[in-house]
Amino acid sequence: MAGLKKYLDQLRSLPEEVPIEPELKPERQKQDKKIREEQDLAAGAVMQAELAPGNAAGPAPRDGDLVFVHVTVKAASGAALFSTRAADGGAGHPIAFLLGKGRRAPRGWELALLAMRRGGRKLVRVGPAYGYSHPDCRMEPPPGVEPSQPLSFDLELLDWVEAERARATGDGEDLLKVVLTESTHWEMARAPNEVAFSLRASALAPAGGLGGGAAYFEPGSPLSLQLGACALPAGVEQALATMSQGERSVVIVPAALMAPPPAAAAAGGDGGGAAACVVPPPPQGAVQVQLEIELQQLVQVRDMTGDGGVLKRRLRPGRGEFPVDCPLNDTTVRIHYRARQAGGAGDAWAFDTAAAAGGGGGGGGGAPLEVDTGCGELPEAVELCARLMVPGELARAVAQPRYAYQGRDDAPAGVRPEAAVEFEVELVDFEREGHWANLSWEERWALLDRLKARGNALYKAGKHKYASNRYQRILQLVDSTRDFEDQEAIDRSDGYKLAALGNLALCELGLGEGARAAEWCDKALKLEPDSAKFLFRKAKALSLKGDHEEADGLLSEAARLDPSIASDADRERAANRARLRAAEDRQRKGFGGFFKPQKAAAAGAAAVPAQG
């Protein structure tokens, strides 16, 4: 009996079992959600009364459409809590949102609007679950409206823009955008780019639709500034960040995103921040602001390193599109560049490749410098810029010392290696390797041979890091190949891959990276398990890594597979033993230093007489 009591007590002490919901696939979840909604509607969760039919012969909006709506929010008692209508005490401006997308409205609104026509008006009564408390609703209730109470909404559908033209964008999909004129460019306006754009900021038109609202800011000339410099409200910056040069769009922005940025507010003094911000805040009471923007010019300013180490500003556009027409991969480039210590002015430059070539004057006066990227021949800042330029482009960059001449022996006279440097770079042209998938097999083999030869030359010159880049490019190209014509092509590709893997191991050995070298050897041994050459290199890598016993075993195996390398294996075995002895000596010295203080302390304790 006592045992039974103990067992029951144990059962009572167990934590309460948590019911596990079955994991449903997205389609099943969507279907179940629709069924539950139909059941709720049948039970009266959303009650609608038509107040005005509107254009009864016209179409109704669909999911994804951008709708413009007047609304009055009422309590269950009928008292108005909030309204967009001027007649009901509101500002007179409608609100806009996408049906079923973006920052969604209460579900009761969506259901009613999907069955309405332009000019139609309905009174919609909902419980909290179909009002602001619906799980899909991301619209904030107006001040003073408690989302947990039953509410009535007096909705009027003014107008809409079809889903094919409208989309949600910006941080959190808070912005609603309609493109009026498409751009022919790819590059987006992002900080720290410099832009020139026309802007009209207005409230939404009382009758709804795009345009027509009363403007509160409309300068007579384009605005020219640098993005990210705290001169614009977040809403304008986010809108511009979705645009390319030549684009003209209407963007509807929450009024809260049109406040001056914090840094501008701090500098604005008595003006509450507006004085330091180019765009003034919207009128009081505004819920949304409509921006009509045309991005007329985009000057690329790029933080090349992400830490401010190299800031590049485009001075002249080139030919082609960024980034598809840039020498992103290691290749031969033809460039002009000049350099001077940061802070210089005028035409005084400490170094000019055009002048060095005998042409005199920068920016293309003499024969261009032909050089391979990825080889360390150029200051890092110059190479970083060249990789993200299109032919004909001219750019200026300010580089911190580590990206300029610090640690190099080619700093020009008048430029201190520890100083920041200003470079002016022009990309004249570069060797295009072509898109790998579009090359013929002969062109592919030729490209792989060039990469391998350049890697081998860099390795022999002791430039292991740069050689490694060439070999890794070979791996990338071979591994991306899926259109082999026959076994011969497969075997030849495997040959390039094996050579690249083995050479990568040698590069890592040259850099003292035993662990990385062993990894490359393992990949090679998967393709050729009985390769004495790769076993030998792996043994050396493991020895450098500290795995001396395993290294010794691999050396014996390599010599067994290929007796011609037996003498090399013996020499490496001796080197392995020497590394082991050196490691053991270091370990003994370390332990000796550890035990000496303890012996001294013990001797001192023995010398102290016991206290009685």
User: Which mean pLDDT values do the consecutive 10-residue runs of the chain (612 residues) have?
Assistant: 68 66 73 92 95 93 98 95 94 96 96 97 97 95 93 98 96 95 93 96 95 93 93 96 97 96 61 66 92 97 95 95 90 96 89 76 68 91 97 98 95 96 98 88 94 94 92 95 93 96 97 96 96 96 94 95 95 94 86 57 44 38
- Domains of the chain in start order, with CATH, are 35-162 (3.10.50.40), 167-260+284-298 (3.10.50.40), 302-355+367-430 (3.10.50.40), 437-586 (1.25.40.10)
Is pTM beyond 0.95? Reply is no
Write down the pLDDT at residue 273: 42
pLDDT of residue 188: 93
Cα separation, 221 vs 198, whole angstroms: 7
**Cβ-Cβ contacts under 8 Å for 70 (sequence gap 6 or more):** 83, 84, 85, 94, 155, 156, 158, 208
Asked if the peptide bond before residue 192 counts as cis, ω within 30 degrees of 0, the response is yes
Closest by CA position to 90, among listed 284, 252, 253: 284
Q: Which amino acid is at 194?
A: E
Contact (CB, 8 A) for 420 and 397? no
Q: Which of 526, 452, 517, 447 is nearest to 481 (CA)?
A: 447
Q: Would you state the pLDDT for residue 292?
A: 98
- Token pair, residue 342, equals 């940061």
pLDDT reported for residue 303: 94
Q: Which amino acid is at 181?
A: T
Residue 251: phi and psi, rounded to 5, are -130, 125
Q: Are 351 and 366 within 8 A, CB to CB?
A: no
